[in-house]
Amino acid sequence: MSGSEEPRRAEDGLPALLHEDLHTADDGGARGSGGERLSHGEATSRPLQPPAPEPQPRGAKLYHRKPVDHNEAAQRFIDAPRHAKMHDERLWDLRQKRDGQMHGLPEWEDLRELASTIKQHTLSNLGDYLEQFESQAKANGIHVHWARDGAEHNRIVHGILADHGARRLIKSKSMLTEEVGFRDYMASVGIEVVETDLGERIQQLDEEAPSHIVVPAVHKLRSDVADVFARELGTDPANDDVHYLAEQQREKTRPLILEADAGMTGANFAVAETGTFVVCTNEGNADLSANVPPLHIASIGIEKLIPRITDLGVFIRLLSRSALGSPITQYTSHFRGPRDGGEMHIVLVDNGRSARLGEPEFWQSLKCIRCGACMNTCPVYRRSGGLSYGATYSGPIGLILDPSFDRRRYSSLPFASTLNGSCTNVCPVKINIHEQIFAWRKVLAESHDIGWSKQAMMKAAGTVLSHPTLYRASIATAEGALKLLPDFMVANPLNSWTARGRAMPDAPKETFHQWYERTNGGKEEPS
């Protein structure tokens, strides 16, 4: 047996670009002591030429109680071709870096299976592991709080901060705090929140949500960042050099870190055996947030539990390799108790997770370790940008998480997928993502949340397709075929096939069925 098709390589031996005009010799990124270009972390494996500036496309428009119009926002993203091109190529590059790491580890598929099994086991015994984690953490001197939902989480954190008279909180990136609207809440009670991850800080200053779980500003070009920093930090608007922008952010954020009253982190893992929680970053910003101010609060979703310290060996090997194609994050920090003179609090948050656990088709989504590999590989996500989903979680994992937070608002999202299955294949904890997207469609159709016209169209198609005579009559003529088939396959009343960029297939001269009848399957009159 001969092999499958290998990706084409460019002259320099690196994988070929789809957007060749992004090709360049050097991007000025960091180099090693031997002068070689480095590509750890979220750096691209090859330098990319920055496209010329253009206005940044914004995310989905949200209306009260109306389903998100992903297609509309995606179209605006695609209509900003420089952003779209860079976005697609950067994320595809992360996917390829991930593949490189996978090929470097013979035990890759074994590790995925182990990670999945450990998570399944933990989720099946979550009550016991949560109690064990709590008792270990308390024994280590950590204060443990429990929050049923986002509002309770925010109240608890506010209470801790108020007890300490804290006015400024520095924090590292946490999808959980995005999920519960933490920054808005803190603003409403007059507490200043400073994000310390560069990408997240850019998004905070621009009043946008992160567009990606691990690369929050991946949808922006350097020119967009220069605009935001000039406006919010007073940097030189004409200077969009990446080193300059990053250094400016470092210099402007550092005094805020030094004078903060409290620090906040999320957690990638919480270990029941020892009461330890683990935070992974590339910037070291979680460690600054946790180790500089006297008070450290960690918000942890209850699904982050794993049983044993040794289980980390499996998950840490997979996490950054899957996310960024880098063997590990620059910092993997284990917090097991407050430092001398410091105080440490943990808030364990449910916010819909325990209910999800009871759904046979969907509970395995709780295995998610938030690596973003499914987003990087998703051809729809790469073309539409994370903000087009109008939700905390975007991309494939978002399609299956978001509807459980607000079924009506996110009812359209499970349809923002071709069900190609690549997401399932890259998932380090083997969540059957595309099957869950498929299952969500059924759930939404059964509760009549897919839109009246779509459901009516499918009902009509089901009638025609289950009656051979009706079906034959419909497609017996060219006009008939073009009238019926578009109804269930190729077009909608707006004729979206021809609306933009795609020509309609030619009308048939004769259907296969007619040919077969006329020629007795080709036996009487060879055609």
Nearer to another protein, 110 or 190 (CB): 110
Which of the residues 115 through 134 are near another protein (CB under 8 A)? Answer: 117-118, 120-121, 123-127, 130-131, 134
Minimum gap (Å) between residue 140 Cβ and another protein: 7
Question: Which of 194, 233, 333, 432 contacts another protein by CB under 8 A?
Answer: 333
Residue 413 touching another protein (CB under 8 A): no
Choose one: 160-168, 185-193, 397-405, 419-427; the region binding another protein (CB under 8 A).
419-427
Helix (H, G, I), strand (E, B), or coil: what is residue 170?
strand
Nearer to another protein, 149 or 190 (CB): 149
Choose one: 60-68, 186-194, 230-238, 519-527; the region binding another protein (CB under 8 A).
519-527
Minimum gap (Å) between residue 236 Cβ and another protein: 15
Minimum gap (Å) between residue 520 Cβ and another protein: 10
Q: Decide: 245 and 270 in contact? Cβ < 8 Å.
A: no
Residue 265 touching another protein (CB under 8 A): no
Question: Which of 29, 55, 159, 237 contacts another protein by CB under 8 A?
Answer: 29
Residue 272 touching another protein (CB under 8 A): no
Q: Decide: 242 and 249 in contact? Cβ < 8 Å.
A: no
Minimum gap (Å) between residue 277 Cβ and another protein: 11
Q: Decide: 111 and 105 in contact? Cβ < 8 Å.
A: yes
Minimum gap (Å) between residue 64 Cβ and another protein: 22
Residue 160 touching another protein (CB under 8 A): no
Tokens 């499918």 belong to residue: 458
Residue 215 touching another protein (CB under 8 A): yes
Query: Which helix (H) or strand (E) covers residue 379, if one does?
Result: helix 379-384
Nearer to another protein, 162 or 246 (CB): 246
Contacting residues for 228 by C-beta, under 8 A, at least 6 apart: 202, 205, 206
Minimum gap (Å) between residue 428 Cβ and another protein: 11
What does the alpha-carbon distance between residue 60 and residue 230 come to, in Å, rounded to a whole number?
A: 25
Question: Which of 159, 250, 256, 406 contacts another protein by CB under 8 A?
Answer: 250
Residue 335 touching another protein (CB under 8 A): yes
Residue 139 touching another protein (CB under 8 A): no
Burial 24-51 (b: 16+ CB within 10 A, else e): eeeeeeeeeeeeebebbbbbbebbbbbb
Q: Which two tokens stand for residue 422?
A: 């690549």
Residue 205 touching another protein (CB under 8 A): no
Which of the residues 36 through 55 are near another protein (CB under 8 A)? Answer: 38-44, 48, 50
The secondary structure of 451-469, three-state, reads CHHHHHHHHHHHHHHCCHH
Cα 123 from chain centre = 22
Question: DSSP assignment of 190-253, as one string?
Answer: T-EEEE-SHHHHHHHHTT---SSSS-TTTT--HHHHHHHHHHHH---TT---HHHHHHHHHHHH
